[in-house]
Copies of this chain bind each other. A is one copy, B any other.
Amino acid sequence: MKPAKDWKIEILAVGSELLTPHFQDTNSLYLTKRLNDLGLDVQIKTIVGDQWDNLCLAFRQILARTDLMIATGGLGPTKDDRTREALASVLDRKLLFRDDLLRAIERRFSSRQMKMPEVNKKQAYLIEDAVVLENKNGTAPGQWIDTGSDTVILLPGPPHEIKPMFENYVWPRLQAFQNRYIYRRVIKTAGLTESQIETYLGDLYPKILEVQLTTLASPGQIAIHLKSSSDKSISQAKHKVGQAIKLICDALEKGVYSTEGEELEEVIGKYLKKKHQTVAVAESCTGGFLGHRITNVSGSSEYFLQGILAYSNTAKTDLLGVSPEIIDKYGAVSPQVALTMATGIRERANATYGLSITGIAGPSGGTKEKPVGLVYIALAHDQDVLVKKNLFLGDRNAIKFQSSQKALDMLRRHLSGTSQS
């Protein structure tokens, strides 16, 4: 048999719902990640419906070109579910009834005080010489079939069934073939543009040739995915990635907020907990999204005290002490109002930090002087207040997200002790 790193590997997803506009095959993302972790790459993915001809055609063509094939879905009890039958037919193998499998399915139903419907009986059939992959979260067992030249793994469709089956029964079997080790990490950044990052990285590329970098940019956040492989050991792959992370963090400095995959709100949560400090927010155009993100972190009640959603001008005055004269003179979207909102919420909540956001999320409400996307963000602490003017692009949701991201990043940079740029 070929060494595993040279295997041709394909994934087949079966299910007519996957050929509608409503459903994606997401199992293949999980499977690809876990195969990559074993040093294995996926070459082709195919998605077919439940029609017998297409199913058999897919099996026949994929078997002719792969070493390892993973097929998901179509193992259910209904007449539409014919993945098992199609593969048996293409391999010209019998489907054998297994009494132990039937009893396991019956037990699953009886444990929930139900009688097994007659249709489920078909799930007790195993392709000749296949190995059973136990399914603890569903009635359809998986199957592992060696054809001599190929390996075919049949798994059910529901993600919560597939994952434990893969981890418990497929992973150890594939791991026995492993002869390449892959290590992966993600560096998350805020406050840098994609071209700034490209410029910084440009000088580093020659120094980290053995690490593959992929930059994923979306408004407000850019992540750098690092991947390295070794034919010898995982620690060698880790070492290469570790060196690259160090070089990139040195180059991007305060632009990096996590090398552990955390979100900004988790990072500030850790700082605040450690320092026994607290935060309160005053939001206008984000309408609660900043508070929502901060409170997405379990345990945030330790440091998040309160928030004011001052959508109307009256609310800005009544709840945050922004004087009507300031609003009249400078407008609700102004550095003056942002500043007063931040100091107002900080005082009112008796918090270490007050964060405020006021802006125009659009699509309406913009003017030539104050266009859609203009957002003032302020951070109040001790005696100082930092106010930043921003011009964000994108739709309402993108502007809300970027505003919250910038506010969290201002607090993060302050908490980390780095200066504001």
Interface residues of A (CB under 8 A from B): 17-22, 24, 26, 29-30, 32-33, 36, 41-49, 51, 54, 57-58, 61, 65, 214, 216, 225, 281, 283, 285-296, 298-301, 304-312, 314-315, 318-319, 348-349, 361-365, 396-397, 400
Contacts and interface: CB of A to CB of B under 8 A. Distances in A.
A365 B300 CA distance: 11
B301 A311 contact: yes
Nearest to A43: B54
Contact of A216 (B22, B49, B54, B281): B22
A21 B29 CA distance: 4
B287 A292 contact: yes
Contact of A289 (B292, B306, B362): B292
A318 B307 CA distance: 12
Closest 10 CB pairs of A and B: A287-B295, A288-B291, A307-B309, A288-B288, A306-B315, A21-B33, A288-B292, A45-B47, A289-B292, A291-B309
A295 B288 contact: yes
Nearest to A58: B44
A29 B18 CA distance: 9
29 contacts: A17-B214, A19-B42, A19-B43, A19-B45, A21-B30, A45-B47, A46-B47, A47-B47, A287-B292, A287-B296, A287-B304, A287-B307, A288-B288, A288-B293, A288-B307, A289-B292, A291-B309, A291-B311, A296-B397, A296-B400, A298-B364, A298-B396, A305-B312, A306-B308, A306-B311, A306-B312, A307-B308, A315-B349, A319-B319
Q: Copy number in this complex?
A: 2
A54 B44 contact: yes
A278 to B, nearest CB: 9
Contact of A287 (B20, B24, B294, B362): B294
Contact of A44 (B47, B285, B362): B47
Contacts of A348: 318
A319 B350 CA distance: 13
Contacts of A314: 305-306
Contacts of A295: 285-288, 309, 311, 361
A6 to B, nearest CB: 14
A13 B47 CA distance: 11
Contacts of A307: 287-288, 307-309, 311
A20 to B, nearest CB: 7
A415 to B, nearest CB: 19
A295 B211 CA distance: 43
A364 B299 contact: yes
A343 B61 CA distance: 66
A36 B349 CA distance: 55
Contact of A283 (B36, B288, B301): B288
Given A287-B300, A296-B287, A19 B32 contact: yes
Nearest to A395: B298
Contacts of A290: 288
